[in-house]
Amino acid sequence: MAWSIEGGAVLGADGLNPSTLALAQTRVAEAAPAGAKRLDATGCWVLPGIVDIHGDAHERALQPRPGVGFAADFALRDTAAQLLGAGITTAYLGLTLSWEPGLRSVEMFRALLAAPAPGGPDIRVHLRFEADNLGALDDALQAIAKGQVHLLGYNDHTPGIAKKVTDPMQLAKYAGRAGVSDADFRALVDTAMASRPGVAAARAALAAAAQAAAIPMLSHDDPHIEQRAAFRALGASICEFPITEAVAENARAHGEHVVMGAPNVVRGGSHMGWASAAPLAERGLVTVLASDYHWPALFAAPFVMLRRGVLDVAAAWALVSANPAEALGLTDRGASRPGQRGDALLVAGGAAAPKLVAVFVAGELAWIAPGEAGRLVG
């Protein structure tokens, strides 16, 4: 199927310009072939599809509340629908492989990998391997070797969890997510912490597997430059959620992409009290925004950046499209050039009141907003 998206302002290398975007055979085309369907984009910006390097809001589809779970295939179908409604055409789902039972367990990891692709957006796997989860190392290595993992992230939340569970309320929260008693969760934490001597060897094995599979790697929550340097030595070329500005500066000095959360931008700051993403993006220290725990924030964030008045449309939108594509080695998306994958969004209302009108994935109309079907003119 082919499409001619007419009457809008298409985002190109030199900004927004009145133009027609042609899609044919899953790609952006020089011109629409005869018989192409037409869509009236009058009053809309036509933007490349959003690429999400890290989103884990699918966890709420799997477990909307402690003790309430849904099957992986059902949850992924719901996730795909939510992604389209947020304009995300390529999604790296953050699958956390932890020593915790339940939501982040090896059993859940296996179930998600085995679930059929739901269709719609291009859904990929961002494996977030928890450092002390040595018992699941073989699962991770096998999934990487089979091509089931597309991005490897190095997590190390165990020491932080060990501190938090000294608070009975925090302990109850973690135990509820895992579906075990408070006492059992404390025992799990102790066992995980006892595994620390094996972490370095496990990371080296994961790095070797990722390099053999030619997938990118990232470090997560780096608290200081020395830790970032250690992950850089393993081949992790992306710095995700640096805790301090100095870490972000160091990563950028080495030519690396720096990822922070879109919710941080939309809410006006980090919910953890860490660095604020918007001013760092304006200074070029943050180059990629991710949905993190909230899909719609990734669509909203570039428009927040525009309203701040520092970045232009191309630079703001690159934070959620061109830049993450580059960081992930996806040379076929993130722009509206001929030959690129036909992922595109129609957005009405400009920066002041953006409204998602339609979503194209691989050249096909995948989603259209209520009341907008009248734009289909032939």
Q: What is the pLDDT of residues 222-255, one digit of tens each?
A: 999 999 999 999 999 999 999 999 999 999 999 9
pLDDT of residue 181: 95
pLDDT above 70 (res 271): no
pLDDT of residue 272: 63
- The pLDDT of 318-322, averaged and rounded, is 98
Q: What is the pLDDT of residues 101-121, one digit of tens each?
A: 999 999 999 999 999 999 999
**Confidence band for 378, pLDDT divided at 50, 70 and 90:** confident
Q: What is the pLDDT of residues 340-354, one digit of tens each?
A: 999 999 999 999 999
Cα separation of the two ends of the chain:
13
Beta strand 15-24 pairing with 27-29: antiparallel
pLDDT above 90 (res 192): yes
pLDDT of residue 274: 63
Tell me how far apart the alpha carbons of residues 140 and 149 are, in angstroms, rounded to a whole number.
Answer: 9
pLDDT above 80 (res 273): no
E strand or H helix at 368 = strand 364-368
Q: What is the mean pLDDT of the chain?
A: 96
Among the ranges given (162-176, 234-248, 272-286, 303-317), the one the predictor scored with the smallest mean pLDDT: 272-286
Domain boundaries, the chain: 2-47+341-375, 50-327
pLDDT above 90 (res 66): no
Tell me how far apart the alpha carbons of residues 316 and 50 are, in angstroms, rounded to a whole number.
Answer: 12
Contact yes or no for 132/162 (Cβ under 8 A): no
- The pLDDT of 175-184, averaged and rounded, is 92
Share of the chain above pLDDT 70, in %: 99
Q: What is the pLDDT of residues 141-158, one digit of tens each?
A: 999 999 999 999 999 999
- The pLDDT of 252-260, averaged and rounded, is 98
CATH class of 2-47+341-375: mainly beta
Tell me how far apart the alpha carbons of residues 247 and 225 are, in angstroms, rounded to a whole number.
Answer: 5
Which DSSP string corresponds to 39-100? EE-TTEEEEEPEEEEEE-THHHHH-SBTTB---HHHHHHHHHHHHHHTTEEEEEEEEEE-SS
pLDDT of residue 122: 98
What single DSSP character describes residue 376? B
Q: What is the pLDDT of residues 180-189, one digit of tens each?
A: 999 999 999 9
Tell me how far apart the alpha carbons of residues 303 and 337 are, in angstroms, rounded to a whole number.
Answer: 22
- The pLDDT of 312-335, averaged and rounded, is 98
Among the ranges given (93-97, 267-271, 304-308, 361-365), the one the predictor scored with the smallest mean pLDDT: 267-271
CATH class of 50-327: alpha beta
Contact yes or no for 294/322 (Cβ under 8 A): no
Contact yes or no for 336/10 (Cβ under 8 A): yes
Question: What pTM did the predictor assign?
Answer: 0.96
**Confidence band for 24, pLDDT divided at 50, 70 and 90:** very high
